[in-house]
Amino acid sequence: GVTPEVAIQKMKTNLPVRFTNPDGPCTMEGVVIEIDDRTGKTTHIERFRK
């Protein structure tokens, strides 16, 4: 994660900024997707949060 103020400054000005990490606990979230090679369609989706 990045401190919100710095990310907003980057979006507003489009100038380079040094991202800083906020203090406190961090989390990681995402998904694991299985895809059928033959059809290219998703066969399984699993969410995770650590």
Closest CA to 30 of 10, 12, 46, 43: 46
Which one has a higher pLDDT value, 25 or 42?
42
Domain count, the chain: 1
Letter string b/e over residues 11-41, b meaning 16 or more CB atoms within 10 A of that residue's CB = eeeeeeeeeeeeeeeeeeeeeeeeeeeeeee
- Encode pLDDT of 7-18 as tens digits: 999 999 999 999
Is residue 9 included in any domain, yes or no? Answer: no
Per DSSP (E only), the strands in the chain are 29-35, 42-49
Is residue 34 included in any domain, yes or no? Answer: yes
Say which DSSP state 34 is in. Answer: E
Task: Output the CA torsion sign for 15, 20, 5, 3.
Answer: positive
Is residue 19 included in any domain, yes or no? Answer: no
| Whether this model's pTM surpasses 0.85 | no
